[in-house]
Structure 1
């Protein structure tokens, strides 16, 4: 690329939400920015924002202007698709964009919680591919009492009709009488896996919500709520799948 082609690096960084152009120039001058794996110190460096792989302090910066990244808190009763041939409410009812979006992390119709929507096909593929082992965390309501060794049994694994399954992490999140809210983390995404796993050990799920997907946390986003991911969240997703 010649000196007259492309976009100045500090403008690309500023447009991506890293900070003001002056702040971005300081980051470049301090050697904290790399382009295609090489440190850049020159303020006037020009890059192709559609092709360049840019990192700040080791965190990937999404520089393509047409990329979209949304977090949705899917309510119960909504199908995890962008359209439904039966006319049921779908994820498309919550995001008003014309781009084709991929839903990352399907949830049962009766399960609420965090779903990522993006038009970044490579990221979507990696986040759902088993080889990357991206963890998903759920809050499940079950009815007790529960044995003290339940967590150990789930982490050790149980046999389901389509093979063994296990939890990576398990803890009691809250308890009120027989109503117990447990937090369970898994890295696989087989259909109904959380419900099936807990039912197999004798505790059918009453309500279920996904609260974390990899580095993303649902936080205070209410059911039906949508928000755009921050630059830092996008970078954390890239890191999680080695992009």
Structure 2
């Protein structure tokens, strides 16, 4: 092959990063795990916080939460008491896994899919914590809404994010950082790709799509709860269906995720 032809061939190679559509059977086959995987977020956590746990042990037994201790304004040293792993700062984007005493190497993200009255599909992604600073046991979530594109496939339209009992979020195209695969997983500032980067608040674990509220010394709630990318794991690594959670289990002040899933079309 001549040099000119080789150069033309190389120039013809393009890399498309986009909100790639998925067929409807992704939502209906195998409890919808292919759809959940196609939009699976990467979760980020702040150092010093209570890092997440499995909500069950894989044998049908509920995880016990832990007492929050000092209450709403717990000092930083107490935030991770009784929680898994070493949450001391080790650098940005440290892979959180292999925590002692946990039943799974990577913390599960619990998922579910629903077809809604507005002809959209929704995927629920839930993460369990043994506590936040206000109460024992804590469930947080993101809900992705999918709509049909011109080809009949389903694309990511918007996300709802749990923010202290309310829902934040908005249009998928407004998420500041998304990625397609492990090759661009640690790049920031790419919008409209297949997987969102989402950040948990340090004290109350509210879910956000940015790190704009960096008040590390506060114990605020919602919008002023410090969040960072000190720890991470991609939910795709361990997606477990919500049916692994008994709908009759109680989590204190935290809502059983089945209630959230049953109402997520509203």
TM-score calculated relative to the size of structure 1:
0.25
Larger radius of gyration: 1
Q: Normalized per residue, which structure has more helix?
A: 1
TM-score calculated relative to the size of structure 2:
0.23
